[in-house]
């Protein structure tokens, strides 16, 4: 390899490096699978080109100092390529794992982990600013019977359509999660349990009226609790869960809210 050839290849390497830097900056602002693949391909190309040039320079060591300079530059680019590729791959994999951890893979909504994180965040806001909020826990009635009668594949379809139905009938500020097998949770910011109980009964009626593709009609039991009635987020979840199981014990297909409020809601229960 002559010096002009080496110089030209180094220029090519720098051009690929500059393209890689631009792609990395773009990816930070607008991440995407196609751009991620381009970054990985450019990183691998840089590594292969610099590695090949370093080997040629060593084999053709006609001028010790010129070869040393070229090898040093190439090895430096090589090292930067490897480090960049490693860091990008690590960040990409970590991002995917984190996203998978907070997203329910079946329904495409928040997972139990995401719910726990948001519950703590909402509680911090409530504790600091007295910004009240409520939690609704919803369980599909007789879901085991659905799986037994129609199979788990049909049961999964019910879960997906349940998530879609809930999402379409809640406010943009409400946050929806799947927290168990057939159990969903809704965090309703700036919402008292009176308003949340009305919201819960509206959701229950919407679900009653919806025709699920795989099984037809489905009902739900919903429990409601508000932050102002409890002393910590764990107790808030417990109260909503207890209210939900109250409905389960009293015929299902209803709503129940912690405390002693009676809104005279149709098919609802109040203690």
Active site residues: 182
Sign of CA dihedral 151, 153, 157, 159: positive
Which stretches does DSSP call E strand in 34-182? 133-140, 175-178
What does each C-alpha distance from 124 to 129, 132, 192, 196, 239 come to in angstroms? 8, 11, 17, 20, 18
Distance CA 255, CA 248 (A): 10
Report the SS3 class of residue 170: coil
CA triplet 24, 28, 29: central angle to 5 degrees? 120
Q: Are 258 and 239 in contact (CB under 8 A)?
A: yes
Pairwise CA distance, residues 268 & 271, whole Å: 10
**Beta strands at 175-178 and 183-189: parallel, antiparallel or unpaired:** antiparallel
Which candidate, 210, 217, 72, 48, places its Cα nearest to that of 141?
Answer: 217
- Pick the closest to residue 141 from 211, 221, 197 (CA basis): 221
């Amino acid at each position: 390899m002559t010096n002009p050839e080496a110089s030209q290849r180094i220029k090519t390497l720098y051009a690929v490096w500059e393209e890689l830097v631009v792609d990395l900056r773009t990816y930070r602002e607008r991440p995407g699978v196609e751009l991620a693949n381009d970054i990985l391909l450019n990183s691998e190309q840089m590594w292969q080109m610099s590695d090949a040039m370093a080997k040629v320079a060593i084999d053709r060591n006609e001028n010790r100092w010129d070869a040393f300079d070229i090898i040093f530059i190439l090895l430096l680019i090589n090292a930067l390529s490897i480090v960049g590729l490693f860091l990008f791959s690590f960040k990409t994999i970590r991002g995917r794992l984190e996203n998978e951890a907070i997203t329910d893979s079946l329904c495409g909504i928040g997972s139990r982990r995401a719910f726990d994180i948001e519950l703590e965040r909402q509680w911090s806001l409530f504790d600091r600013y007295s910004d009240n909020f409520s939690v609704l826990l919803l369980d599909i009635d007789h879901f085991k019977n659905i799986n037994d009668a129609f199979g788990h594949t049909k049961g999964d379809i019910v879960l997906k359509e349940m998530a879609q139905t809930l999402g379409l009938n809640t406010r943009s500020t409400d946050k929806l999660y799947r927290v168990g097998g057939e159990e969903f949770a809704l965090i309703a910011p700036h919402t008292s349990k009176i308003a949340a109980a009305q919201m819960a009964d509206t959701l229950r009626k919407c679900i009653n009226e919806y025709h699920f593709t795989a099984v037809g009609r489905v009902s739900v039991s919903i429990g409601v609790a508000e932050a102002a009635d409890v002393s910590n987020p764990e107790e808030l979840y417990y109260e909503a869960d207890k209210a939900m199981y109250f409905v389960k014990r009293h015929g299902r297909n209803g709503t129940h809210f912690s405390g002693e409020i009676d809104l005279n809601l149709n098919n609802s229960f109040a203690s």
